[in-house]
Amino acid sequence: MALRVGVIGCGGISRFHFPGLERAGAQIRWVCDLDEAAAEPWRARYGARYTDDFHDVTADADVDLIDVTAISRVHKVVALDAIGRGKSVICEKTLTENPTDSAEIVVAARDARVALFTSYMKRYIPAVEEAKRLVESGAIGSVVSTSVRAFQCWGDLWAGVPDEGFFAAVEDGPSEVVRRYGGGILVCGGSHILDLIGHFLGRPHRLFATMHTPPGGDFDVQASALCETERGIAHFEALAHPLQRIGFLRDGWDERVELLGTKGRIEILSSSWNDVDTKASVLKYYDNASARETEYRYPPESPFVRAIGRFCEAVEGGGSPPQSSATGYDVDELISCIKQSAETGAAVVPEWRV
């Protein structure tokens, strides 16, 4: 039987989730948002019921899966309520705004024996999947050095924050970027790249980090870290910059992963996450034995659709989801450690509590 789904949050990110659920053959029973106008197109498209109270959705016995695409600060309460009612959960990143809350969700899901997927969908980019296959096959030998970065064009925030808009300072509360996402470039851009460190190298066992916040701002525009793993050092950086034409597609988006091994090298050039219908990523593989480099190019294909499809398939078939339920927690733990190291100027050893 097709999965019966309730979607909590119908803002901008939800438009990438709905096609994934649709492709998976799921029945979208509910759409929930405080803004009825935002939910109406999806309600009409799927013949779903609308509510502005997520409890209506989680309490419905005819719903199997809750997809949480609301802002991060409500993820915990929604996810725990859904899990407590025996529902599987898809949750947008970040899982929560701190690792303690994220660990609580992971433990709750495991205790309830329901599936939990945090939407770190870049694992499902075709170039990333092929790179993973090459690394695990031994094609590049032992990995000795990794470099990962997310450089995103956010405009010129280095001289100070603007007087209005998404990044503006607010007298009685956080800026819009912090209110919606819980932070700046580390959370918004760096979280996906931190997940790829874990995906390729495993959990880091120590890191040293720095961060930069613009004058008058409450969000970071740069975060960098050296992460020690069982597969060598990973060099990480997330950067908000004003350069409009850098990156391999010359669109200001310069996100890449480089894994250098004893037998070869892999380089992933990633396209912008919100242009999945028109832009695609590239994989370059250098084999030292033949002294040849192979370039893999793929047509545009949404990693959201691929990720959600595989998760739904696993849940529907009673199998194991394609990634660990702790994925979202892992990233939130690393974000916390990076902040701690940047504040103290000292290396940090992650606790890895789950």
Alpha carbon of 308 to those of 31, 57, 281: distances in Å? Answer: 17, 19, 19
What kind and span of H or E run contains 108?
helix 99-112
**Tokens of residue 304, six digits:** 């959201």
> Which pTM was predicted?
0.96
Closest by CA to 159, choosing from 87, 242, 95, is 242
Split at pLDDT 50, 70, 90, the class of 319 is confident
The pLDDT assigned to 320 comes to 83
| Three-state SS sequence of 175-199 | CHHHHHHCCCHHHHHHHHHHHHHHH
What kind and span of H or E run contains 232?
strand 232-241
Find how far residue 28's CA is from the centre of its chain. Answer: 23
- The dihedral built from the CA positions of residue 195, 198, 203 and 209, taken in this order, carries a sign that is negative
Fold of 122-301+333-344: Dihydrodipicolinate Reductase; domain 2 (3.30.360)
Whether the Cβ atoms of residue 174 and residue 218 lie closer than 8 Å to each other = yes
State how far the Cα of 321 lies from the Cα of 52, in Å rounded to an integer.
Answer: 30
What average pLDDT does this structure show over 112-131?
A: 97
| pLDDT value at 18 more than 90 | yes
Beta-bridge partner residues of 149: 237, 256
The pLDDT assigned to 172 comes to 79
Split at pLDDT 50, 70, 90, the class of 70 is very high
Two domains, one topology: 4-121+305-324 and 122-301+333-344: no
State how far the Cα of 345 lies from the Cα of 308, in Å rounded to an integer.
Answer: 39
SS3 of 342, please?
helix
Beta strands in 112-205 (DSSP E): 116-118, 143-153
Alpha carbon of 183 to those of 7, 187, 260: distances in Å? Answer: 24, 6, 31
Which tens digit of pLDDT belongs to each residue from 148-191? 999 999 999 998 899 888 999 887 789 999 988 899 999 999 99
The pLDDT assigned to 169 comes to 84
The pLDDT assigned to 352 comes to 97
Which tens digit of pLDDT belongs to each residue from 46-55? 999 999 999 9
Q: What is the mean pLDDT of the chain?
A: 96
Beta strands in 213-263 (DSSP E): 222-229, 232-241, 254-261
| pLDDT value at 1 more than 80 | no
Least confident of 81-85, 231-235, 297-301, 319-323: 319-323
The pLDDT assigned to 317 comes to 87
Give percent above pLDDT 90 in the chain: 91
Q: Which CATH number fits domain 4-121+305-324: 3.40.50.720, 2.40.128.50, 3.90.660.10, 3.30.565.10?
A: 3.40.50.720
State how far the Cα of 94 lies from the Cα of 217, in Å rounded to an integer.
Answer: 21
The pLDDT assigned to 160 comes to 86
**2 or 235, higher pLDDT:** 235
Find how far residue 278's CA is from the centre of its chain. Answer: 20
Domain boundaries, the chain: 4-121+305-324, 122-301+333-344
